[in-house]
Amino acid sequence: MTASTSSSSTQPQTLTRTVLGARRPSNFFWATVLTFGGLGFALAGASSYFKTNLLPFADPTQLLFIPQGIAMGFYGVAALVMGTFLWVVISLDVGGGYNQFDKTSNRLQIVRNGFWGENRHIEIEHPLQNVTAVRVAIKEGLNPKRALYLRIQGRPDIPLTRVGQPIPLSDLENQGAELARFLQVPLEGL
């Protein structure tokens, strides 16, 4: 989070918050596990088919190709495809970006990274006076959700926080209160 101040006043005129995208440690972990695990399973399946040991730590040549070798090969290819997808998402940093609120230009700008093509960079801009509230959404349970939304006149609520693991409640409340104070709008949902 960055705030820059104007020389004419002591209050910050710009509030910028970065949003963590796909470059999270958990995504790196799972991409690595899927890549190496998939490679191991695919090599085990190929070893059982060719009856040549392609793995330095095991001897899958003893496996019957039908059904064990083919199943291992299938799981290996599936894991490699998922691992490759995760590596692409990480390299593009899908979902990463920033939220910027600028009182000097009276604009808010929300920028996120997407996939290739026209939607590679997703940008939303609005005048600050169209912001009616900052909303906090909290859902506990098996699939908890804790997020901040920006309520803009005549538009659906715009999410401001990252997707994935929920933000701690204290951080969510602090971020929401700070943003509501900065924009001078009510904080809803607490």
- In this structure, are 105 and 144 located in the same domain? yes
Beta bridge partners of 145: 139
Domain housing 119: 2-21+95-188
- In this structure, are 118 and 184 located in the same domain? yes
- In this structure, are 79 and 112 located in the same domain? no
DSSP state letters, 120-170: SEEEEEEEGGGEEEEEEEEE-SSS-EEEEEEEETTS--EE-S-SSSPPPHH
pLDDT at position 131, please?
Answer: 92
Q: 41, 74, 92 — which closes off a domain?
A: 92
Tokens of 81: 């495809």
- In this structure, are 100 and 179 located in the same domain? yes
pLDDT at position 7, please?
Answer: 43
Order of strands, edge to edge, in the sheet holding 121-127? 2-5, 12-19, 97-102, 107-113, 121-127
pLDDT at position 116, please?
Answer: 76
Compute the Cα dihedral for 82, 84, 90, 92 and give only its sign.
negative
pLDDT at position 57, please?
Answer: 87
Cis peptide before 127 (omega within 30 of 0): no
> How many structural domains does the chain have?
2
- In this structure, are 180 and 133 located in the same domain? yes
Q: 92, 115, 146 — which closes off a domain?
A: 92
Q: 75, 92, 109 — which closes off a domain?
A: 92
- In this structure, are 105 and 143 located in the same domain? yes
- In this structure, are 57 and 106 located in the same domain? no
CATH number at residue 117: 2.30.29
pLDDT at position 83, please?
Answer: 97
- In this structure, are 87 and 115 located in the same domain? no
List average pLDDT for each run of 10 residues in the chain, which is 190 residues long. Answer: 49 88 93 97 94 89 90 97 96 92 93 81 90 90 86 90 80 91 88
DSSP state letters, 28-43: HHHHHHHHHHHHHHHH
